[in-house]
Amino acid sequence: MKQIKNILPVLCFVICVFFISGCNAGKNSGAKIWNVAVIHKDTHPETLAMVKMGEIFAQLTDGRYRFEVFPNELLGPQRETLEQVQYGIIEMAVIGNPNISSFVDGFLTFEMPFLFNDLEHQKKFFETGFTAPLFKQTEKFNFRIITYFTGGTRNMYSHKPIRGLADLKGMKIRTAESDTYSKMMKALGGAATPMSFGEVFTAIQSKVVDGAENNEPSYNNSKHYEVAPYYSYTKHLIVPDYLIVNAKVYNSLSDADKKAFQEAAKRAEEYERELWTKEETKSMEEAVKGGAKVIKDVDIESLRNAVAPLHAELCKNPYIKKVYDAVRETADK
């Protein structure tokens, strides 16, 4: 009976996607519709970037391809949409690093707290091309990483200010599902509580968790400031998100269409980064109007020192160490 309950939602989803795709195909005669899953709302930079990419790809292929973008976790949490891409139920999704690192160890490097100095450092590293062979390793799992999106700087928020290690002691903080995040929170004196992004508001409200950690747009768009009004700039994580596509679907493209697809993705990446800077400022202004209290006097150095042993532990893995060294070398330059 439990298996039937688990299968039914998936079956309903598949029927809905094919129904919508069929309707869209009718409206855009001859166009192939690619369904894209995004967990964020329709005004989020990543969602808007996918809409923009669809417009560019359609233009470059004379309307032979079109994207149908589903925001707000309409197609499910990220882990489920990643599986849907793998099985070819949908063509594409924007997926966070923790869901990718469960397949390839090298991606665990990007989950290290205080790895990147800032967003400019992250951009500089990804522009080196170092990640190309790392991205390629996911193809054996039937999905391909096309590009990365910046997820901004992640900070902690709760019902009380977090200014240093003492404030985090014993706190339950929602994180994405990641063993590295769990170890990070333990090193900081708290405890990680992994859950879907869509469950966070209720979890904080009902005191299942004491708070969460995320970037400014996610904090504002989800109205988490209503239940966790103190947004503390811990700046502990700068973790990328990725645009993934079903490997078989991508390989079905002609060489010319692959080139157009990559061009559209590159322009979407640049567009997302451009939107992000504006969205960070706008989001915090809106959150403050809604009752958020910004905490900037955080003892970041104490947090950095507390997680230093985690860096050493992870770097025992030779591949993680290789990626780590490449990131830090970029910072030094």
Task: Tell me, yes or no, whether 71 lies in a domain.
Answer: yes
Are 316 and 250 in a shared domain?
Answer: no
Position 14 in a domain: yes
Q: What is the CATH number of the domain that holds 223?
A: 3.40.190.170
Query: What pLDDT score was predicted for residue 177?
Result: 85
Same domain, 222 and 300: yes
**Confidence at residue 28, expressed as pLDDT on a 0 to 100 scale:** 53
Burial-class residue 299 by CB neighbours within 10 Å (0-12, 13-18, 19+): middle
* Residue 272 in domain: yes
Clarify whether residues 130 and 159 are in a common domain: no
* pLDDT for residue 333 is more than 90: no
**Residue 101 pLDDT more than 60?**
yes
195, 296: one domain: yes
**What was the pLDDT predicted at 29?**
57
If asked whether residues 123 and 191 sit together in one domain, one would say no
Does 141 lie in the same domain as 116? yes
pLDDT in tens, 209-241: 999 999 999 999 999 999 999 999 999 999 999
Does one domain contain both 118 and 172? Answer: no
**Model confidence pLDDT, tens digit, residues 30-83:** 899 999 999 999 999 999 999 999 999 999 999 999 999 999 999 999 999 999
Angstrom CA distances, 150 to 109, 121, 214, stand at 16, 11, 13
Mean pLDDT, all residues of the chain: 91
The pLDDT of residue 30 is: 84
Q: How far is the CA of 296 from the CAs of 115, 121, 207, in angstroms?
A: 20, 21, 25
**pTM (2 d.p.):** 0.86
* Domain of 194, in residue numbers: 154-238+282-328
Residue 251: inside a domain: yes
Has residue 333 been placed in a domain? no
Residues 170 and 257 in one domain: no
Tally of domains in the chain: 2
pLDDT band at residue 332 under the 50/70/90 scheme? confident
**Same domain, residue pair 131 and 225:** no
Does a structural domain hold residue 122?
Answer: yes
- What is the model's pLDDT at position 11? 46
Statement to judge: residues 32 and 177 lie in one domain:
no
Phi then psi dihedrals of residue 251, to 5 deg: -70, -15
Same domain, 100 and 202: no
CA distances (Å), origin 4, targets 7, 9, 14: 5, 9, 15
Predicted confidence at residue 215, as pLDDT, reads 94
Q: Are residues 324 and 179 in the same domain?
A: yes
